Amino acid sequence: MKILVVGSGGREHVLSWALRRSAGVMDVFAVPGNPGMLPGAQPVPGKIEDLESLADIAENLKADLTVVGPEAPLCKGITDVFKARGLKVFGPSAQAAEIEGSKIFAKEFMVRHNIPTARHRVFTEHDKALAYIKYNKGSHVIKADGLAAGKGVFICDTPEEAETALNKILTERAFGDIGQGVIIEEKLEGEECSFMVLCDGERVVKLASSQDHKRALDEDKGPNTGGMGAYSPAPIVTKEVEDRIMNTVIKPAIKGLAEEGRPYQGVLYAGLMIKEGLPFVLEFNCRFGDPEAQAVLVRLGEDLAPLLKAVAEGELEERDLKWDPRTALCVVMASKGYPGEYEKGIPIDGLDDVENIPDVRVFFSGVATDPEDGQMMTSGGRVLGVTALGDGISDAQVRAYDAVGKIHWDGAFYRKDIGDKGLKK
């Protein structure tokens, strides 16, 4: 089987790696991919927004399956384009992907289907939004509608912070088109986790639980990012909590999407707040989490390719998957300044020193090679996801941070507390 992966980040790197290991998979290609995927997967030049040319690439390569990593092409309708051309593809249709693409659609969908989530209001006018915040004292979460790579969310504990966020979203349009406006939510307290499932439109298979670290700095300080590290499994997701997630969130969502004529075929990601054992949805994503995929997929105890193919063909078998019982922990190394402005093109040292450490894998995100001498250089905000397996969280931490300590570049930064919350359990 030949597989094409769409995307170039750490998530696509771990997907390529897991797919290449699957029995019967001869070749994996990735558009545009990244240099860390070699030699297992071959990068192919291309733009992930150009859906027809991606379909051309899949056709030319005679790919048996295309696996789409990021949300942008999914929300734009890559699955619909591929299906219309008779190409097999893993990922939801544009209509189903709206569960991530429009936060307002997602909130209203949850209300319609009784899926637990924070109370919300939608505003298009700055003054009305601000008046609402001043009237309803306390903390609020302000979100731009549409896709903002995890950065269009502001947790505001004062009216001043709320005003700054509203200015950014509604006046400066820092996240581009604001879709249908801005959402103001009540702030939920509790502990976060990520829960992903595979679904073929109807049948559902659970993936292992995980926990992301969204804030840029230790102790959950600093701005929200795409995710600074993750581990799996997440102790907060006990069997009892998992059953509640399935019964109150996942199953009603899959059923609701099908009833509304948007059957969901792909991986559905629920970002959850667990409060006193009860799950509340913060967001749905229409794709694997990044860096959650790195932590979850290194633990998968069976082949990934047949599972994703079964999803694409609508023939998924409902059963429990096999998992490595150890903990996987991924520390993201990022460029100084991320999630704001950062420099690119800085040489990365030490990658050779971690290549052969048992049970450690480095997944590349924002990395490019110097065309002159092949040196690896930074090319994005999140640069590497250093992932280790260990017997429990603290062992995985020691192994991951040991490897992180061997990698250097000017201005590298990372959180030093990935996994600490899980240790307290």
Which residues of the shown chain bind ligand AMP in the complex (CB under 6 A)? 118, 141, 143, 150, 153, 155, 185, 187-188, 192, 214, 224, 271, 282-283
Q: How far is the CB of 188 from ligand AMP (least distance, A)?
A: 4
Select the binding partner of residue 285 from ligand GLY, ligand AMP, none (C-beta < 5 to 8 A, by kind): ligand GLY
Map residue 30 onto helix, strand or coil.
strand
**Would you call 340 exposed, middle or buried from its count of C-beta atoms within 10 A (0-12, 13-18, 19+)?**
exposed
CB of 193 to ligand GLY, least distance (A): 11
214 vs 299 by CB, closer to ligand AMP: 214
Is residue 289 a contact point for ligand GLY (CB under 6 A)? yes
Task: Please pick, from the candidates 89, 153, 290, 388, the single residue that binds ligand GLY as defined by CB under 6 A.
Answer: 290
CB of 249 to ligand AMP, least distance (A): 14
| Smallest distance, ligand AMP to C-beta of residue 157, A | 11
Quickly count: other Cβ atoms within 10 Å of residue 392's Cβ: 15
Nearer to ligand GLY, 87 or 386 (CB): 386
Residue list 98-157, contact with ligand GLY (CB under 6 A): 150
Where in 220-239 is the site for ligand GLY (CB under 6 A)?
226-227
Q: Which does 292 bind (CB under 5 to 8 A by kind): ligand GLY, ligand AMP, none?
A: ligand GLY
Contact with ligand GLY (CB under 6 A) among 64, 192, 200, 212: 212
Exactly one of 211, 265, 285, 327 binds ligand GLY (CB under 6 A); which one? 285
Pairing of strands 191-200, 204-206: antiparallel
For residue 41, which of 387, 307, 383, 364 has the smallest C-alpha distance?
364
Closest CA to 82 of 39, 48, 51: 51
Residues 6+ apart with CB under 8 A from 306: 22, 24
Report the nearest approach of ligand GLY to the CB of residue 372 (Å). 34
User: Could you give the angle at which helices 159-166 and 126-135 cross, rounded to 10 degrees?
Assistant: 160
Is the omega angle on the peptide bond into residue 279 within 30 degrees of 0, that is, cis?
Answer: no
Taking CB under 6 A as the binding criterion, the range among 83-91, 133-141, 284-292, 341-349 that sits at the site for ligand GLY is 284-292
- When the beta carbons of 286 and 316 are compared against ligand GLY, the nearer one is 286
| Secondary structure letter of residue 116 according to DSSP | -
| Rounded-to-integer distance, Cα 150 and Cα 193, Å | 15
**Shortest separation between residue 226's beta carbon and ligand GLY, angstroms:** 6
Q: φ and ψ at 333, to 5 degrees? A: -100, 130
Cis peptide before 233 (omega within 30 of 0): yes
Bridge partners of 7, per DSSP, are 32
